[in-house]
Amino acid sequence: MSTRGRNVSTATGGAAAGSAAKTPLMKQYLATKGEHPDAFLFFRMGDFYELFFEDAVRAAQLLGITLTSRNKSDPDPIPMCGFPWHQRDGYVSRLLRLGHKVAICDQLEDPAQAKGLVQRGVTEVLTPGSVTSDQFLDGGANNFLGVLWPRPDRLGLCLADASTGEMKLAECSWDEAGSVLSRTRVAEWLVPSPVEDAVAPKLDAALAGLPGARSAVPVARYLDASRPPARWSAVVADAHADLPLALAASAAALDYLDRTQGGLAAQMTRVERWSEDAVLRLDAATARHLELFTPQPGGEPSHTLWYHLNMAVTAAGSRRLRSWLERPLASLGAIHARQQAVAAWLAPEAPRGSFREALRGLPDLERLSARVACGKATPRDLGALRDALVRLPDLAAGLERSGGEAFAAAARAMAVPPALAERLSAALVDEPPTVARDGDIIRTGFDELRDSLYSLAHSGKQWIAELEASERERSGIPSLKVGFNKVFGFYLEITNSHRDKVPADYERRQTLTNAERYVTPALKARESEVLGAEEKLKAREHELFVALRDETARYVASLQGAADALARLDAEAALAEVAARFDWSRPVLEDSDRLVASGVRHPVVERLLPRGEFVANDVRLDASDRQVILLTGPNMGGKSTYLRQVALLVLLAQCGSWVPATQATIGLVDRLFTRVGAADRLGAGQSTFMVEMSETADILRSATSRSLVLLDEIGRGTATYDGLALAWAVTEHLHDARGARPRTIFATHYHELTQLSEKLGRLANAHVAVKEWGDGVVFLHRIADGPADRSYGIHVAKLAGLPESVIERAKVVLAELESERTVEELEKAAPKRGKRDAAPAALPLFESAAPAEHPLAAELRQLAPDGMTPLEALQRLADWKRRFGA
Ligand code: ADP
């Protein structure tokens, strides 16, 4: 068994031994902290939350607040920091975003009434993956808690979003783990510990590959695996008994949510099974290369597809659309159904504009329902729910009026019994507060008892307000004031200059420097009436609110049905909106191994360029006669853009979306592989090459005849000859693999590869067109049949600023190298390399073709531009040489 490090902070450190730590308050703190060692403990003291010891030191750093200490005079003072209680949520939010956990320790009794030490206890534990409150959540994305349940051969996965009540279950082999785990953004991961030794390295690798959640570093917390969670949800267990590992994960998820939510079990009412067979598989690298949701390092949000595609009006609609893009479909039936729904919104009579307009400002029904379901709704939540419900009938009527059967069905799904809206409207004030215990929730006329308490409290207050005027008149003291404080209650205050006029029935209660405070029996009687009535009023309102919340909970199924219909309609209408605004067309999906499209654009690059500047291109792939396209042409010609736009074309089509093309026929794709981008960063060295090769290996292993493979510049991360040889072999393999002939586009600057078309029957050459213009070249960004013309290389070299003498000399040097000695001979002839250049022994492929101290090095050094090593210069020259021709 392997026990993995628990991320427990040494909160108390050795400081607890100091004398300051021995006070009753500190003992109380340490006992509480002991129960939540891995969370920042926010410890309420009066109007402040304080943090102590290691927590204080780290929080001060993370949150930028001042670190002080308690008991400064003590030889061993305790580090401390804090902030006023009302700033709590801001700080919680920041810590959650950094992936931390926060435990809130509140005062459980009124300090004024406490005898001795105020009782305190943890009332809430907030973790990135379990929070449900809107202020900690990103509206447009699910907030998943992810639990992994590993076995030597398989992996169980449960994703649970407590804020929407959704739960996803999946099981997969370790080979599939990367693809399954990288699809979805997860706020917090849980894994069991300890795990069997055979599993630990696989689990570590899977965790290391996880994309950062909201924090830069994905956080994994460790569950106690020795004690499998006993809590099974009956619904979940019965329906998914064939997924035992996913079920174990789900039980652990529910257990964790229960504990962090203070016993209020999240209600996972919408359990869905995820099967990788039902979706277009994308590896993690592909999602990254295509910049679906996250830009490449240094990029901007507007470089992502999501930025342009997300036209949903509501947060729930965005979440739905995002989940579609994360999991494009892989069955014709499902894709056609979604296409039909989008088409309905594009029909001339469709109420798309009015529906989208009506959605604006609509509260998040999905998250509200989830909070109602687990008894966590606040008065404000119920108010928002009422506002949403009041608007639903109009929305539904609008859909029904439009006539389409699909809309009519959606309208029916949106129906919530009107009794609920009526009840909430009758009960709640216009703007209910977030706190349930301080009153101001219930509308007058809803409950007799509440109303009588209200008027009692109110009239008492009125009487007291009037008392000031009448007592001024009676006593003849114009400056007499009525006041209130917690210790003496209501009082009459008279300044010392009027002391002689104080009426006889006043009883003195308090002496200040220049005034005295009095009460009268009548005032005291009214006071207890007012205060008593106010307390009772608050209690009654709380009672009514809880009853209302429970009553609302009985409608959860129909509320979730409505929320679901709304989210789906919003997402479908958003796809229609994108199609209409950007002039996209409906693709034909079919059961074939073709991919034929014309006028294809890159949905993001097109938007970023001035209107009309993007050059649309065609694509024609067919496994039987044009299976592999070898795309050659100079850098900056538009090769990677072309590869990406073909990938996005397929991805969008299989989401059920319209596509940026004038026409497209797509044989269903089961897996999409793209190797684009990473190696574009010149000089990134061997590690880049390693990444490139392992991604390529993965493609060769897993591509099927229904896959689409898009490769860019394979082999560029290594020395010239290795790279060319590898690219050659990879191309042959993809062309000839038995039984698995994936449609492939291979972009390369290895001109030699174009000869392959003579040998490989299903390989076709294509190139990016370049036009010579005066002394230079113009990139036309047009893809045309046939290999690239080699002559452009001269111009590119000139463009790049390489002097003519270098180019000329390069031809001579390379001719000599190639004619006289093989690469291996050069290697052998070279003196032993220093450590810096040594390649790892296990990876001979990565060794450089030319040694640093080749006899020609001195000459090369003279030719090399500043800052280039002779080795780089040699490689660069070899590259130019190939491009210019012999
Ligand atoms: P390569 O991969 O051949 O080096 P890129 O695909 O990176 O070239 O394209 C280089 C630049 O050319 C891109 O930044 C883009 O702005 C522009 N470009 C690419 N394709 C097109 C196109 N079809 N229409 C207009 N501009 C394009």
Question: Which of 246-250, 328-332, 351-355, 826-830 has the least mean pLDDT?
Answer: 826-830
Question: 154-161 and 144-150: which strand pairing?
Answer: antiparallel
What tens digit of pLDDT does each residue of 769-780 get?
A: 877 666 566 778
pLDDT of amino acid 285: 75
More confident residue, 741 or 714: 741
Task: Collect contacts of 753-758 with beta carbons under 8 A, ≥24 apart.
Answer: 753/630, 753/632, 753/724, 753/727, 753/728, 754/630, 754/632, 754/787, 754/788, 756/630, 756/728, 756/731, 756/732, 757/630, 757/787
CB atoms within 10 A of CB 752: 13
Flag whether pLDDT at 303 surpasses 70: yes
Flag whether pLDDT at 741 surpasses 80: yes
- Separation CA 321–CA 327 (nearest Å): 10
Task: Cite the beta strand spans of 678-749 per DSSP E.
Answer: 708-712, 743-748
The response to whether residue 644 sits with its C-beta less than 6 Å from ligand 1 reads no
More confident residue, 469 or 571: 571
The response to whether residue 605 sits with its C-beta less than 6 Å from ligand 1 reads yes
The tokens for 865 are 């531009």
CB atoms within 10 A of CB 140: 16
Rounded to whole angstroms, the maximal C-alpha distance in the chain is: 124
What spacing in Å lies between the alpha carbon of 728 and ligand 1's midpoint? 25
Question: Which of 274-278, 679-683, 770-774 has the least mean pLDDT?
Answer: 679-683
What tens digit of pLDDT does each residue of 851-862 get?
A: 334 444 444 444
What spacing in Å lies between the alpha carbon of 636 and ligand 1's midpoint? 6
pLDDT of amino acid 602: 96
Flag whether pLDDT at 873 surpasses 60: no
More confident residue, 625 or 836: 625
Question: Which of 177-186, 319-328, 604-613 has the least mean pLDDT?
Answer: 177-186
pLDDT of amino acid 750: 76
Give the three-class secondary structure for 280.
coil
- Minimal-distance CA residue to ligand 1 atom 17: 638
pLDDT of amino acid 342: 96
Share of the chain above pLDDT 90, in %: 37
More confident residue, 804 or 539: 539
Average pLDDT over residues 686-715: 78
pLDDT of amino acid 565: 94
Average pLDDT over residues 116-132: 88
What tens digit of pLDDT does each residue of 231-269 get?
A: 556 666 778 888 888 888 888 888 888 778 765 556 677
Question: Which of 45-59, 100-114, 228-242 has the least mean pLDDT?
Answer: 228-242
What spacing in Å lies between the alpha carbon of 327 and ligand 1's midpoint? 28
Cβ pair 575, 310 in contact under 8 A? no
Task: Collect contacts of 722-725 with beta carbons under 8 A, ≥24 apart.
Answer: 722/845, 722/846, 722/849, 723/750, 724/750, 724/752, 724/753
More confident residue, 601 or 483: 601
Average pLDDT over residues 549-556: 93
Average pLDDT over residues 207-225: 54
pLDDT of amino acid 4: 46
Flag whether pLDDT at 833 surpasses 70: no
- Separation CA 231–CA 516 (nearest Å): 64
- The preferred substitution site among 289, 300, 605 for testing ligand 1, maximizing ligand atoms within 8 Å of CB, is 605
Average pLDDT over residues 7-32: 66
Which ligand 1 atom lies nearest to the CA of residue 616?
A: 23
What tens digit of pLDDT does each residue of 80-101 get?
A: 999 999 899 999 999 988 888 9
The response to whether residue 677 sits with its C-beta less than 6 Å from ligand 1 reads no
Cβ pair 8, 39 in contact under 8 A? no
Sign of the alpha-carbon dihedral angle for 818, 822, 828, 834? positive
- Separation CA 157–CA 170 (nearest Å): 5
Residue 176: which pLDDT band, with cuts at 50, 70 and 90? confident
What tens digit of pLDDT does each residue of 391-423 get?
A: 999 999 989 888 778 888 889 999 899 999 999
pLDDT of amino acid 189: 87
Question: Which of 210-219, 238-247, 523-532, 755-764 has the least mean pLDDT?
Answer: 210-219
The response to whether residue 660 sits with its C-beta less than 6 Å from ligand 1 reads no
- Minimal-distance CA residue to ligand 1 atom 19: 638
Share of the chain above pLDDT 70, in %: 79
pLDDT of amino acid 306: 95
Residue 218: which pLDDT band, with cuts at 50, 70 and 90? very low
What tens digit of pLDDT does each residue of 505-518 get?
A: 889 888 888 999 99
Average pLDDT over residues 155-179: 88
More confident residue, 677 or 629: 629
Sign of the alpha-carbon dihedral angle for 464, 468, 469, 472? positive
What's the whole-model pTM score?
0.79
pLDDT of amino acid 20: 62
The response to whether residue 63 sits with its C-beta less than 6 Å from ligand 1 reads no
Flag whether pLDDT at 209 surpasses 80: no
The tokens for 57 are 């030191």
The response to whether residue 150 sits with its C-beta less than 6 Å from ligand 1 reads no
pLDDT of amino acid 721: 63
Residue 645: which pLDDT band, with cuts at 50, 70 and 90? very high
Which ligand 1 atom lies nearest to the CA of residue 641?
A: 6
Average pLDDT score, the chain:
81
Residue labelled with tokens 């100079």: 634
The response to whether residue 515 sits with its C-beta less than 6 Å from ligand 1 reads no
What spacing in Å lies between the alpha carbon of 768 and ligand 1's midpoint? 10
pLDDT of amino acid 224: 60
Cβ pair 671, 706 in contact under 8 A? yes
The response to whether residue 780 sits with its C-beta less than 6 Å from ligand 1 reads no
Task: Identify the bridge partners of residue 107 per DSSP, sorted by sequence position.
Answer: 120
- Separation CA 152–CA 128 (nearest Å): 29
pLDDT of amino acid 745: 94
More confident residue, 838 or 54: 54
Which range has highest mean pLDDT (116-125, 490-499, 655-664)?
A: 655-664
Cβ pair 826, 849 in contact under 8 A? yes
Flag whether pLDDT at 799 surpasses 60: no
- Minimal-distance CA residue to ligand 1 atom 12: 638
pLDDT of amino acid 259: 79
Rg of the chain, C-alpha, whole Å: 35
What spacing in Å lies between the alpha carbon of 308 and ligand 1's midpoint? 19
What spacing in Å lies between the alpha carbon of 355 and ligand 1's midpoint? 38
More confident residue, 748 or 812: 748
The response to whether residue 614 sits with its C-beta less than 6 Å from ligand 1 reads yes
Cβ pair 78, 21 in contact under 8 A? yes
Q: DSSP assignment of 482-506, as one string?
A: EEEETTTEEEEEEEGGGGGG--TT-
pLDDT of amino acid 114: 79
Average pLDDT over residues 193-200: 82
Question: Which of 67-81, 221-235, 396-410, 432-446 has the least mean pLDDT?
Answer: 221-235
Which ligand 1 atom lies nearest to the CA of residue 782?
A: 23
Task: Cite the beta strand spans of 378-460 per DSSP E.
Answer: none
What spacing in Å lies between the alpha carbon of 641 and ligand 1's midpoint? 5
The response to whether residue 639 sits with its C-beta less than 6 Å from ligand 1 reads yes
pLDDT of amino acid 630: 92
Question: Which of 271-285, 552-566, 571-585 has the least mean pLDDT?
Answer: 271-285
- Minimal-distance CA residue to ligand 1 atom 16: 605
pLDDT of amino acid 112: 77
What spacing in Å lies between the alpha carbon of 781 and ligand 1's midpoint? 7
Average pLDDT over residues 454-469: 82
Flag whether pLDDT at 803 surpasses 70: no
What spacing in Å lies between the alpha carbon of 600 and ligand 1's midpoint? 14
Cβ pair 178, 206 in contact under 8 A? yes
Residue 843: which pLDDT band, with cuts at 50, 70 and 90? very low
Flag whether pLDDT at 9 surpasses 80: no
Cβ pair 400, 351 in contact under 8 A? no
